[in-house]
Structure 1
Amino acid sequence: MTSTDVSTAAEDSGPGGYAAARLSLLQQEARSGPPRRKALSALTDDWLNGLFTAAAVNLRGVALVAVGGYGRGELSPRSDLDLLLLHDGSAPAADIARLADRIWYPVWDLGLDLDHSVRTLGEARRTAADDLKAQLGLLDARHLAGDLGTTAALRTTVLADWRNQAPKRLPHLRELCEERAERAGELQYLLEPDLKEARGGLRDATALRAVAASWLADAPREGLDDARRRLLDVRDALHLTTGRSTDRLALQEQDQVAAALGLLDADTLLRQVYESARTLSYAADVTWREVGRVLRSRSVRPRLRAMLPGKPPVDRSPLAEGVVEQDGEVGLARAARPERDPVLPLRAAAAAAQAGLPLSLHTVRRLAATTRPLPTPWPAEARDQLVTLLGAGRSTVPVWEALEAEGLITRLLPDWERVRCRPQRNAVHTWTVDRHLVETAVRAASLTRRVSRPDLLLVAALLHDIGKGWPGDHSVAGEIITRDVAGRLGFDRHDTAVLATLVRHHLLLVETATRRDLDDPATVRSVADAVGSQATLELLHALTEADALATGPAAWSAWRDSLVTDLVGRVGAVLAGEEPEESAAPAPTAEQERLAVEAYRTRGPVLALHARAETLNRDGAGDEAADAADGADTGQEPLGVELVLALPARPAQGARESYAMGVLPAVAGVLALHRLTVRAAELSGVSLPRGLDGDPRPAPAAAADHPAGVLLLNWRVAAEYGSLPQAARLRADLVRALDGSLDIRARLAERDAAYPRRRGITAPPPRVRVAPAASHHATVIEVRAQDAPGLLHRIGQALEGDGLRVRSAHVSTLGANAVDAFYVTDAGGRPLGEEEAARVAKGVEEAMRG
């Protein structure tokens, strides 16, 4: 059916015909994108024209006007109809009301969303003067039916008012855009973006059109129409996929939307969305900067003319060779010759970042159009300028974005193309891969005083995840890419090897510190062997912190910082020539010792709870405060609880034979029942003072292996939602679980049946493996899985079912991911054999799948 056939069907059969014709149009797979939006708008125009014509007999000076998105002809399948019934005030009010009813009600009867108003020209002007959003909608007014002169008068008047009021209105519009960005986030980084409201979305495209209509400033037009069209295409497919009027591209719908658009997968879809958003965001930055410059110029020029005869001078301050500052932006000197100076783009970028100023649009485009490629290897100046750019801190970001907008980054670093706009489907990550790399360099800039080679730190920060654009382990791929890039940048063989090591092992410290037993000599020796030197260790420590801070709030805290620092100290000692020795367990705190003594004397579990409040400082590091759960006020909202549990290795008469076996699933199960999510967990033994309570026996080497010892559990947990549970109830359930009178599995099943979980995205299957050569004293079982209530309980049950002893557990929850390591031995305290370890790992994985 052609568009003419569709329109004819709508005219012939009224509302029913319009509905059928609309459905037919939306089902035509061959017609999508701008042609379908145009056809849908035309079809709707014809239908509304028919409604108006049939109802407006003998009425003069009345017009039906499309405004907002409908006025622009951007009708998506489930878009609102924005309509204005405009009249000159000459017709009786009752006639205008009847006319409105005969138009609005057929629209509502078809289930279409309608944003409608009835106004005279004067009322429309007053509304626009009072409501900026209404004024923006009227800027796109389009005549549908009735008196064309009335619509023309509205358009002329509204546009003239907008241009006259632009100096006062545009700053307000900018504030609205900034408030919306703060509320909805940045489209180019969100995993579930709002295509309309987020920064770089369709509302920003509309704002840029309004700025252009003011004649005060204009946006860089290259790529804007394509970016806006792609976002509208995605919204169309989203409406058809969901059957709803929605602008949020939810995770569970991305595969279907990608398929509807003929794209390879959801990642390809997101990259296309991000690229469009990046184009719009950069255009908005440039445009608002130009608006500010024009408004400042208008306020300054009259005063200059009064003070100085003739033309006012242009202030140009030199910043570097061929680079100047002019009017708050960085540009090229008159004598600069980019076609003869291949280092000039980096020199200009470094100067802009160091001065905290933006690169002018004209400058970036001239550099992109005329500069020759750098030779291979780069000259020393080019490498130094890149390091200077990366070391400028926060001001690096807008300069980098300006270079990237004109394609200069991928010309300097061709491997950048594979990570550009690449999404990271992990809730821990705040940014796309490329933006995360720049953010890591920003964070590393504040750590350069801690290392002897800041240049290597900054370049490693920029490249550490460069392998994410390739299949397989991104650290392995990144090492290969880094060797090639480092050689191209002109680093010598030794520096190239250091950079490759940093990229290959950029996760080594944090993974080892949080998932391995640092008291095991094998742990420390393996890290020392991988790092190789004190200088590399120093760089890797700084890179680890910068990477974590750039990842997101969940990736770094004072706790992780202390663990990594402890590991670095131990590895540094080995690299200095000391042999790693098995460390004695750290001395218990005064409270831990008190709990251990009480547990030993009472032969029962002793529990302490502490509310923990954790905030992020300006650099993103975690500052923590711990206070007693029953009292102190930190002035912060507690994010979680520190739970310390002391258990005697020899319980009271009639209780379970040994708490060391089964304590992990029991405690984890009780926490799950109370809707507490485990963020971290550690198990350790506490040696008690010799002769305690008249007992003459010496303190044992391993508390869990000796009747006089006490097992200490230190857990960090957070409420899934709502308030934290009462300490007394938690204590009571823990005691019941440990003495076997609480059926945790049945209770968890009852809760899951009563409160079924909503279906969401399909998580990757769990993975369990045996870490090779991780410890001489135990077998290390690594678990990677989607976090869920009772997960740790199921893991503990699986290990207990195999008759194993958990020597220590290192539990971390990163976003929606559980990343755990368990040091296990057989009942006799020995590491497992290879075949037995593989069987245990398989059993744990099956337990999690079940």
Structure 2
Amino acid sequence: MPPRDYAAARRRLLGGSARPGAPRRAELARLTDHWLAGLAGRLPPGVALAATGGYGRGELSPRSDLDLLLLHDGRTPPTGIAALADRIWYPVWDLGLALDHAVRTPAEARATAGEDLKVQLGLLDMRHLAGDTALTTALRTDALANWRAQAARRLPQLHELTRERAERHGELRFLLEPDLKEARGGLRDATALRAVAASWLADAPREGLEEARRTLLDVRDALQLATGRATDRLSLQDQDQVAADLALPDADALLQRVYEAARTLSYASEVTWREVGRVVRGRSGRQRLRGMLPGRRGATAAARQERAPLAEGVVEHAGEAALARSARPERDPVLPLRAAAAAARAGLPLTMATVHRLARTAPPLPVPWPAEAREEFVTLLGAGRAMVPVWEALDAAGLVTALLPGWERVRCRPQRNAVHLWTVDRHMVETAVRAAAFTRRVRRPDLLLVAALLHDIGKGRPGDHSEAGAGVARELATRIGFGPADVEVLGTLVRHHLLLVETATRRDLDDPATVRSVADAVGEFGALELLHALTEADALATGPAAWSNWRAALVGDLVKRVGAVLGGDTLPAEADGTDRDDHFLPAVEAERLALEAWRLDGPALALRLRPQPRRTPGAEPQTGAGGGAEEGTGAGEPAGARLVVALRDRPGVLPAVAGILALHRLTVRTAQLRHLPLPLEVTGLDPASAPPSQPPPSSPSSAPYGASVLLLSWHVAAEYGALPPAHRLRADLVRVLDGTLDVAARLAEREAAYRGPGRHGASAPPPRVTVADTGSRLATVLEVRAQDASGLLFRVGRALERAGVTVRSAYVSTLGANAVDAFYVTGPTGAPLPCADAADLARELERALGR
């Protein structure tokens, strides 16, 4: 075919004579094959023309380079090879087509491929065009064999190239003007995944991968036809035309389609490279073991990796979170959230097989969600940066949309604002990441985290996204299992998530009407506290231009003024903790248990372990202690057990019991501590020698009291497995109290073993301890906010004991991944601590928890 005929046929093809997309690319490749074969003519023996790279795959975009390799075995003289090359190259150049060409012998091609990874990748897609077929086939066979033989060495090199390219070109799915080829999640990554699959060392997840690659190729075709240039960058000025050519409604729809394809490729790349790393490390380990261990059986045993439990039904295996062998996701609707939360807290990715199995078999959660599901959800959100890859895995499998209907409206939705770094969905996730660092600042970190995730959920809906989002957030909050009061708070936060920064930067803060309008919109101080933290998290997640010291100062000033109008941060009227209802035991049973503890020989201790069934969704919630339904969660208590301990009041009781619970891997959900004075007639003490004690404020009795028994009520749940028998807990507690069991040492040993070499958990903000200014008339109230962890309550109790203060009462709650605890303490005289001493104690406790 003469060049002029080829050019005319090419113009007709690109002008609409073939269906766009893959059919047109394939037809253009066939047309070009025919023309180039005609240019080559009858090649001498031992000479062949081959296509490599994208052309080798039979995919030609309108402005693609022609990657050509002229192979010869050395029998044809150099002058003859040069003449053949000129016969092919010059007509291509004359038509203005881009040409990437090489002339090599098979030995030279193999040597160059060994030195240049890009050449090696091109040979993997080599396709014969003309001449000696055996020559092309032999070289391609050798290229594949060498690639597979050297995969353990070459694939890490390829991975490094992809990382460097991503650093230069960014993440395709978050760029307003993305490079469809070079950015992370682009066509280069699709080629890299093909190369990994060709190595036989690992394989990419196949679902949606080919469709994503075709989408990017289709968009590039339309871009190159619209611009008439060999470009891969989807510039803003070209997006409307490209969208129209692809029959899409607008440029936003175009970007959303591109972002979804890039997200699929990015996730596939992440999973694939993780698998490559695991396989390469495993091969290296086996090679080392062959030299160290005598015999195959010993090497296999030494190389076997243990499965460490992370949560009920979830284990760590080979550096990833996976389902335990005993897990039955088809019977456990909470398992997807439990697995995600456990993975994020441990800083581990979820295996692809685990995510797909959960998506395929786990039944939908009941509506409203059970309390356990809500807690796991909050724990996932509170894991900080480690939450992001876990969330991406859930979203890729469709689990996020199943959990939060309507999420698909914001997924991969672009934000045409240069201030924004992310798409709408990723911005919401990033806001939750930022909010996780502020959970020490608020009383309800669970509401902060959920509001952070949902604050832009109204984008993609008609009207003001804040107003639309407030209604959606209320629906989702009800679905998640929050009570009516919390649902309203979340709706208020989403409705007014821009209120503080917009008011602070656009209104006169000295005008009383400005402050009053904000106070009326927010309603109460708890919501103001949450809104302040949400405002900062939202701005930081937007980008560096959205937050500054100046804006922070203005918003802080506004919050201070609005807080004054609302009346400040208030605690219950009687804040010594003794007037709260005893929710864990009826009065008669509490007194009986106290008497039993008093009358026991030796270290007096009585223990009751009462398993609690899971609450039926929609059942009336019970009022809980400190941070449960009393604080407005509105969803009752999660499944677990009530553990009640009664023993004679003595130093070290609180850390002893907390340490035993930690040793037995019992997670403390809520806790109460209470002193129960006993009458002299019961204790048998001489009134003259009896220690001073006061009756409970609510007691009508006028009988003299002589000693007190300490009642501790714990709502606990097993981290995994069954609850330990009560007799084992009692036996271990007796050993701690008589000094034969060192709890601190045992916990330290287990923590060191859990961390292990190379184990990295999710980073958490530092603990925060404050003194509540209006906490109590009878005691000093210390508020502790820290990352929930096994042994935390033991460390707090031990630090308070060492400080020489008496814990009058304590209210402990766990909200997601955060412990939010209040300790009512008094000094040696039984009075509240002086202000300076209280501040010193808070700082010392903060230091002790931060070590």
TM-score (norm 1): 0.65
Letter in 2 for 1:379: P
Tell me which of 156, 179, 184 is aligned to 2:169.
184
Residue number among 45, 48, 59 corresponding to 2:36 in the alignment: 48
Do 2:349 and 2:390's aligned partners in 1 also have CA atoms closer than 8 Å?
Answer: yes
Identity %: 74
d(CA) in 1 for partners of 2:495 and 2:111? 64
Q: Secondary structure at the match of 1:468?
A: coil
Q: CA deviation at 1:577?
A: 7.7
For 1:268 and 1:573, the matched residues in 2 are separated by 46
Q: How far off its partner does 1:239 sit? A: 0.8
Show CA shifts across 1:774-800 (max 9, x none): xxxxxxxxxxxxxxxxxxxxxxxxxxx
Q: Could you tell me whether the CA contact under 8 Å between 2:184 and 2:266 is conserved in 1?
A: yes
1:7 corresponding residue in structure 2:
none
Question: d(CA) in 2 for partners of 1:492 and 1:381?
Answer: 15
Q: Where does residue 366 of structure 1 map in the other structure?
A: 357
Q: 1:309 aligns with which of 285, 295, 298?
A: 298
1:64 aligns with 2:49: yes
Instruction: Tell me the residue number matched to 1:106.
Output: 91
1:314 deviates by: 3.7
Aligned ranges 1:669-818 → 2 under 5 Å = none
Change (3 A) 1:258 1:539: same
Task: Find the partner of 2:249 among 264, 267, 271.
Answer: 264
Query: Could you tell me which residue of structure 2 aligns to residue 413 of structure 1?
Result: 404
Alpha-carbon offset, residue 189 of structure 1: 1.0
- Give the letter aligned to residue 203 of structure 1: R
Structure 2 residue aligned with 1:206: 191
CA distance in 1, matches of 2:194, 2:126: 13
Output one character per residue of 1:696-753: Cα deviation in whole Å (capped at 9) or x when no partner. xxxxxxxxxxxxxxxxxxxxxxxxxxxxxxxxxxxxxxxxxxxxxxxxxxxxxxxxxx
Q: 1:63 aligns to what SS in structure 2? A: strand
Tell me how far apart the structure 2 counterparts of residues 123 and 364 of structure 1 sit (CA, whole Å). 46
Tell me if 1:137 matches 2:122: yes
1:469 to 2:460 alignment: yes
* Superimposed CA distance per residue, residues 4-34 of structure 1 (whole angstroms, 9 cap, x where no aligned partner): xxxxxxx2xx000000000011111651111
Contact persistence 2:525–2:568 (CA under 8 A): no
Aligned amino acid, residue 421 of structure 2: T
Letter in 1 for 2:203: D
2:740 equivalent in structure 1: none
Question: How far apart are 1:303 and its partner, in Å?
Answer: 4.3
Name 1:33's counterpart in structure 2.
21
Pair 1:399 & 2:384 matched: no
Aligned to 2:6: 18
Letter in 2 for 1:309: G
Match of 2:495 among 498, 504, 514: 504
Match of 1:123 in 2: 108
Q: What residue is the counterpart of 2:654 in the other structure? A: none
Q: SS in structure 1 opposite 2:48?
A: strand
Show CA shifts across 1:451-509 (max 9, x none).
Answer: 00000000000000000020110000001111111111111111001000000000001
**Does 2:430 align with 1:439?**
yes
Counterpart of 2:8, as a letter, is A
Distance 1:325 1:550 in 2: 30
Deviations 1:597-632 (A, max 9, x none): xxxxxxxxxxxxxxxxxxxxxxxxxxxxxxxxxxxx
Structure 1 residue 309 displacement after superposition: 2.9
In structure 2, distance between residues paired with 1:483 and 1:577 = 26
Q: Distance in 1 between matches of 2:210 and 2:464?
A: 38
Report how far residue 304 of structure 1 moved: 4.4
What secondary structure does 1:65 align onto?
strand
Matching residue's letter, 2:11:
L
Which residue does 2:760 correspond to in 1? none
Where 2:174 maps in the other structure, the secondary structure is: coil
2:219 to 231, 234, 250: 234
Q: Deviations over 1:196-227 (max 9, x none)?
A: 00000000000000011111111111111111
Q: Which residue of 2 aligns with 1:570?
A: 561
Deviation at 1:440, TM superposition (A): 0.2
Partner of 1:194: 179
For the residue of structure 2 that corresponds to 1:135, the secondary structure is: helix
Query: Are 1:333 and 2:324 matched, yes or no?
Result: yes
Where 1:84 maps in the other structure, the secondary structure is: strand
Instruction: Give the structure 1 partner of residue 230 of structure 2.
Output: 245
Distance 2:548 2:153 in 1: 45
Indicate conservation of the 8 Å contact 2:18/2:24, yes or no: no
Alignment-derived partner of residue 528 in structure 1: 519
Residue 296 (str. 1) matches residue 281 (str. 2): yes
Matched residues in 2 for 1:577 and 1:38: separation? 70
Q: How far did residue 271 of structure 1 move?
A: 1.1
* 1:568-602 deviations in Å (ceiling 9; x for gaps): 11111111189xxxxxxxxxxxxxxxxxxxxxxxx
CA distance in 2, matches of 1:430, 1:314: 40
Equivalent residues of 2:286, 2:299 under 8 A apart? no
Contact kept in structure 1, 2:504 and 2:555, CA below 8 Å: yes
Task: Tell me, in whole angstroms, the C-alpha distance in 1 between the residues paired with 2:244 and 2:364.
Answer: 39
Decide whether aligned partners of structure 1 residues 577 and 547 sit closer, same or farther in structure 2, where only a CA change above 3 A counts. Answer: closer
Q: Deviations over 1:243-278 (max 9, x none)?
A: 110000111111111111111211111111111111
Q: How far off its partner does 1:37 sit?
A: 0.5
- Work out which structure has the larger RCO, using CA pairs closer than 8 Å and 6 or more positions apart in sequence: 2
* Matched residue SS, 1:252: helix
Partner of 2:346: 355
Q: Aligned equivalents of 2:403 and 2:355: distance in 1?
A: 14
Aligned to 1:783: none
Classify 1:577/1:320 alpha carbon distance in 2 versus 1 (closer, same or farther; 3 Å).
closer
Shift of 1:176: 0.4
* Aligned AA (1:544): T
The equivalent of 1:558 in structure 2 is 549
Question: What residue ranges of structure 1 are gaps of 5+ in the alignment?
Answer: 1-10, 579-850
Structure-1 separation of matches of 2:289 and 2:468:
59
Q: Which amino acid aligns with 2:78?
A: A
AA in 2 matched with 1:23: R
Report the more deviating stretch, 564-573 or 21-30.
21-30
AA at the equivalent of 2:377: L
Cα pair distance change 1:29/1:92, threshold 3 Å = closer
Instruction: Point out 4+ residue stretches in structure 1 off by more than 2 angstroms.
Output: 301-305, 307-314
CA distance in 2, matches of 1:274, 1:516: 37
Shift of 1:340: 0.5
Which letter does structure 2 place at the counterpart of 1:49? Answer: A
Q: Which stretches in structure 2 are left out of the alignment for 5+ residues? A: 570-851
Q: CA deviation at 1:514?
A: 1.0
Q: Which amino acid aligns with 2:543?
A: G
d(CA) in 1 for partners of 2:89, 2:128: 17
Q: Secondary structure at the match of 1:309?
A: helix
- Superposition deviation, residue 302 in structure 1: 3.9
**Residues 289 and 299 of structure 2 are in contact (CA less than 8 Å); yes or no, is this contact kept in structure 1?**
no
Q: Report SS of the residue matched to 2:458.
A: helix
Give the structure 1 partner of residue 262 of structure 2: 277
- Residue 81 (structure 2) aligns with: 96
Letter in 2 for 1:193: P
Pairs aligned (count):
563
- 1:423 corresponds to which residue? 414
Quote how far apart the aligned CAs of 1:301 are: 2.3
SS state at 1:518 partner: coil
Task: Give the structure 2 partner of residue 590 of structure 1.
Answer: none
User: Which residue number in structure 2 is paired with residue 167 of structure 1?
Assistant: 152
- CA distance in structure 2 between the partners assigned to 1:299 and 1:118 by the alignment: 38
Distance 1:162 1:309 in 2: 31
